[in-house]
Amino acid sequence: MAKDYDPQMHTAEHVLNQTMIRLFGCGRCFSSHLNPGKSKCDYYFDRDLTVIDAAALESAVNIVLDQDLPVQERMVPRREAESLVNLSKLPASVGPDDPIRLVTIGDYDICPCIGAHVSSTGEVGRFCLISHGLLEKEAGSDTEQSVLRLRFKLV
């Protein structure tokens, strides 16, 4: 577990990812940097958020946090996990017979994860989006996908 895995930020990241899926139909972030002060998550997404999108996102995340949903972990056999979640991003070190740790946030989100979490979403605080924007494409980059970066803090 990386030492920058602040439990409150980490739970916020899961809620944020599920909210991005539900509001905008994108995937979970493919990269994240979580720190106690502020964090950033990068998504494959074809446009920047509008002001209205950003407000809707912030409010939807905070509604989930306010519900004080339980955050629970359980170990399940890989076959069962495969029927519940996308396991395509598991590290190669996870063997085919290893059980998978799933983290659920009430009925809102389920995700394979090894990180530390708070025990309910009410412990996270308020989610505050600091900025959003598409990253400049790097010269010579082999991917055509545009990347939306969200920066956020908890207050």
Binding flag, residue 49, Zn ion (CB under 5 A): no
Q: Whole-number minimum distance, CB 58 to Zn ion, in Å? A: 20
DSSP annotation of 123 reads G
Q: Which of residues 115-144 bind Zn ion (CB under 5 A)?
A: 115
**Interatomic CA distance for residues 31 and 111, integer angstroms:** 15
Q: Whole-number minimum distance, CB 10 to Zn ion, in Å? A: 5
- Residues 6 or more apart from 40 whose CB is under 8 A from it? 32, 33, 149, 150, 151, 152
Neighbours of 74 (CB within 10 A): 13
Number of residues that bind Zn ion (CB under 5 A): 2
What are the residues facing 39 on neighbouring strands? 152
Complex with Zn ion: residue 8 or 115, whichever CB lies closer: 115
The residue of the chain with the least Cβ separation from Zn ion equals 113
Q: Which of residues 60-119 bind Zn ion (CB under 5 A)?
A: 113, 115
Complex with Zn ion: residue 89 or 97, whichever CB lies closer: 89
Torsion of CA 23, 70, 34, 63, to 10 degrees: 40
Q: Whole-number minimum distance, CB 14 to Zn ion, in Å? A: 6
Binding site for Zn ion (CB under 5 A): 113, 115
